[in-house]
Amino acid sequence: MVFGKKFQKYYRALRRRTIGFQYGDIWQGKNAEKWYESTDSIYPLVHNDFLNYLSDKHDIKSVLEVGCGPGVYPIKYKDIFEKFEYTGIDISKSAIEYCKTHSDFNFLCDDFIQIDFPKKFDFVFSRSVIDHVYDIDQFLLKTVNLTKKYAYIYAYRGFFPTSENHDSKLDKNGSYYVNALSKKQLEKTLLKSGLDKTEFIIRSQESGHNEWNIGTIIEINKI
Ligand SMILES: C[S@@+](CC[C@H](N)C(=O)[O-])C[C@H]1O[C@@H](n2cnc3c(N)ncnc32)[C@H](O)[C@@H]1O
C-alpha cells in the first residue's frame, strides 16, 4: 500500500514533467481573440447548458475556474461573472498574462493539481481541461476538495459509460495528454472523495461540435 502511494507519486511527477512549461499555448497560441471566436462556435450547446445550470444557483459568491485559458468566461462573458468573486487558474503562462492584462479579476498561473489553496470556493468549474490533465483522478479529487457547494466539469472528448478505466495517452508530439474518461472510474473516485452518490451526476451532453459532439458533464452538489 505504502509502495503503491509512493509509486503513484513518482508516476505523477514523471507524467507532469513531460508537459513542460508552455502547456496551454499549444491550443491558444498567442491570439486570444481567435481562440474566443473558435470556442464560441465549437460548443454552443454546452455553453447553453452551462448558463442554464448557473441560472438557478442563487447562493454562489466565490467562483474558481480551473484551466481558464485566455479567459473566455471572465473576459468575453464578463457580464455573467461580474456578480461573483471570480478566480481563474491556468498552468499556461501566456494565457494568464493575457488574462491579467485584459481583466481585473484574480488570476493565478500554477498547476491546479499541485497548488495549495488557502480557501474553498462556492462553485468550481472547468471546461475542456480534464481531457488533457496528467492525472485525471487527482484533478477530480482536488476539485471536490476545493468545492463548498457546486462543481461543474465538462469534458469534450466523448462519453464512455462502459469502460472500466480511464484511457490517457500523450499526443503524437508528446506535448500534452489526451484522455478518455471512464464513467465507472469517475464514479469510484467521486465516492472515494467522500461524496454520497446523491451528491453527483455524470451525464453525456451534446456540444453541437462536428467532431466532438458528445462529451461528459460531471455535476457536484454538496449537501
Ligand atoms: C483545451 S484548453 C481549455 C481552455 C479554457 N477552459 C476554454 O475552454 O477556453 C485546456 C487548458 O487547461 C490548462 N491546464 C491543463 N492542465 C492544467 C493544470 N494541471 N493546471 C492548470 N491548468 C491546466 C491548459 O493550460 C489549457 O489552458
Closest ligand 1 atom to Cα of 69 = 27
Q: Is 39 in the pocket of ligand 1 (CB under 6 A)?
A: yes
Distance, CA of 204 to CA of 181 (rounded, Å)? 11
Residue nearest to atom 14 of ligand 1 (CA): 67
128 CB near ligand 1 (under 6 Å): yes
pLDDT confidence tier of residue 210, bands split at 50, 70 and 90: confident
Task: Give the Å distance between the CA of 83 and the centre of ligand 1.
Answer: 24
Does 90 contact ligand 1 (Cβ within 6 A)?
yes
Residue range 16-37, pLDDT digits in tens: 665 555 666 666 666 777 777 7
The pLDDT mean for the chain works out to 89
Is ligand 1 within 6 A of the CB of residue 72? yes
Host domain of residue 185: 2-221
pLDDT of amino acid 1: 46
97-106 contacts, C-beta under 8 A, 24 or more apart: 98/32, 98/70, 98/71, 99/68, 99/70, 99/71, 99/74, 99/75, 102/32, 102/71, 102/75, 103/71, 103/74, 103/75, 103/78, 105/74, 105/81
Nearest ligand 1 atom, CA 43? 8
Number of folded domains in the chain? 1
State the pLDDT at residue 93.
87
| CA distance linking residue 79 with residue 220, whole number of Å | 24
Question: What amino acid is encoded at 36 in this protein?
Answer: Y
Question: What is the Å distance from ligand 1's center to 2 Cα?
Answer: 31
Sheet holding 147-155, edge to edge: 106-109, 85-90, 62-66, 121-127, 147-155, 214-221, 200-206
Establish whether residue 151 lines the binding site of ligand 1, counting it when its CB lies within 6 angstroms of any ligand atom.
Answer: no
The number of residues making up the chain comes to 223
Mean pLDDT calculated for residue range 167-196: 93
> How do residues 82-136 score in pLDDT, each as one tens digit?
999 999 999 988 889 999 999 999 999 999 999 999 999 999 999 999 999 999 9
- Residues 43-73: tens digit of each pLDDT: 889 999 999 999 999 999 999 999 999 999 9
pLDDT for residue 94 = 85
Between residues 209 and 101, which one has the greater pLDDT?
Answer: 101
Give the model's pLDDT for residue 31: 73
Q: What integer pLDDT is reported at residue 65 of this predicted model?
A: 98
Which one has a higher pLDDT value, 146 or 210?
146
Ligand 1 pocket, residue 215 CB under 6 Å: no
Instruction: Pick the more confident residue, 42 or 80.
Output: 80
Nearest CA to ligand 1 atom 10: 129
**What's the average model confidence in pLDDT over 126-151?**
97
Q: Residue 112 sits in a domain of what CATH number?
A: 3.40.50.150
Q: Distance from the CA of 99 to the center of ligand 1, in angstroms?
A: 13
Buried/exposed 17-35: b ≥16 CB within 10 Å, e otherwise? eebeeebbeebbeeebeeb
Which amino acid, one-letter code, is at 177? Y
Asked if residue 24 has its Cβ within 6 Å of ligand 1, the reply is: yes
Report yes or no on whether pTM surpasses 0.85: yes
CA-to-CA dists, residue 106 to 85, 113, 132, angstroms: 8, 19, 23
Pick the more confident residue, 173 or 182. 182
Is 91's C-beta closer than 6 angstroms to any atom of ligand 1? yes
Residue in this structure with the C-alpha cell 459509460, named with its chain if needed: 161
Q: What percent of the chain has pLDDT over 70?
A: 87
Pocket test for ligand 1, best of 12, 68, 129 (most atoms within 8 A of CB): 129
